[in-house]
Amino acid sequence: MRWGVLQFPGSCDERDALHACGLLGEARLVWHEERDLDGIDAVVVPGGFSYGDYLRAGAIARFSPAMEAVAEFVGGGGPVLGICNGFQVLCEAGLLPGALLLNEDLRFHCRQLDLIPAADWADGPIRQGDLDVSARRRALSIPAKHGEGRYYAPEEVLDALEAKGQVAYRYAPGQNPNGSARDIAGVRNEAGNVVGLMPHPEHAVDPLTGSTDGLEVFEAVAEVRA
């Protein structure tokens, strides 16, 4: 498995993403001016503040040559994982539904939280506020750190996402840090090869930092290719 990790001016989590991908295969950085994704099996759009978050988070990055290549890659069924700012970029690019707005309380939140893989797996979808999650599925302990992570989509779009199993991750009950609609932390596209989430699985891949649960998020992306 060969991973490509995009790097924009203002990215800041690409090194950790590269490290995480390196644990599962080969990995290299892809500079934002590159168009060539040849030989890459999966792409990570990492966190940070691409192009200084000017205008809106992710708004400028979507026009970069590398993102044009990613759009083609997605069209060909290639798996893409967007983390935090990368999630914002994928939404702005129209590769994922919805948008990320300022946190409800206007604060930048940085904390370890529990993330529930939320849909489409063997035991069915986890609904918002489902308190029985521990019995049904283990939560992933993963840090989140963002000021603009409030997931928004119109109600009818949210209903469609739930119905089609496109809600990929939810904050565990009571842990929604930003006011996201229906506790949504991450979504996937209809084809299932693009997934984005606000929390940072790349910071949870080494026992040194307290959790290795983040690897499961990368592994789920790798499975799309398999």
Active site residues: 84, 200, 202
Both tokens of 10, joined, read 């203002």
Q: How far is the CB of 107 from another protein (least distance, A)?
A: 10
Q: Do the Cβ atoms of 165 and 125 come closer than 8 Å?
A: yes
Binding site for another protein (CB under 8 A): 55-56, 59, 63, 92, 98-99, 101-106, 152-154, 179
If one counts every other C-beta atom within 10 angstroms of the C-beta of residue 33, the result is: 11
Burial of 158 (0-12, 13-18, 19+ CB in 10 A): buried
Q: Which residue has the tokens 């993963």?
A: 142
Q: What is the dihedral of CA 53, 13, 101, 79, to 10 degrees?
A: 110
Q: How far is the CB of 147 from another protein (least distance, A)?
A: 11
183 versus 202: smaller Cβ distance to another protein: 183
Q: Please tell me the distance from the alpha carbon of residue 68 to that of residue 52, in angstroms, as a whole number.
A: 20
Q: How far is the CB of 102 from another protein (least distance, A)?
A: 5
98 versus 186: smaller Cβ distance to another protein: 98
27 versus 61: smaller Cβ distance to another protein: 61
